[in-house]
Structure 1
Amino acid sequence: MSDNPTQGHPALDTHYDETTGDFVMRGGSRLTPQGFLIDPYGERRDGSIQHRIRSSDGAIVRAIPVQDGADPRPLPPLVPTGSGWPTPPEGFGWPNLDNPNWND
């Protein structure tokens, strides 16, 4: 076990691409500001399905559908914010970044 607490953080080795605004994960997969997952080879295999990164473990999950009256909670960010998570570059339109992370 490492003495460095960041070694176990789900955001370890992740960053935002300053040119495209994409969130780049370990292994080279990307999540666009629109929630589309792009594999390391540049292909969008899931079509128009939108994804987000789960804050608890960094897993890729389907994005929450458009909010309706049945669920009053604010939509979660597509990429978690807070301690240990990289800050997105300005001007790429990352949605919901001001909302708190869902407890997932």
Structure 2
Amino acid sequence: MPSEKKRFSSEYTMLSILEYLCTNAEDMPVTKYHIISKLPGIKRQRPDRISKIMDTLERKGLIKSIKTPNATYYSRTEKGYAEYSAWVRSFLDFSRSVVEG
């Protein structure tokens, strides 16, 4: 039987990244590599897809980037935390409960 690759929608991935930045990386900005390596399921996503998602989150004002000569770091904004607290957390909890059965 071939292995089944699980690919999340861009929207689910985007909200999962915002959740990670709001819950696990509150006090320190993190790199895209850090996000990809720490989030379950994100490791299977193409890096260019993650870059587009990060750009979208930043354009919407939900995260901010800090560019250094060696890397770009990301952190949540107050708007991002407010959105996460208002509805993203509940949506992700619901989505995960449906998938898990």
Higher relative helix content: 2
**Normalized against structure 1, the TM-score is what?**
0.27
**Normalized against structure 2, the TM-score is what?**
0.28
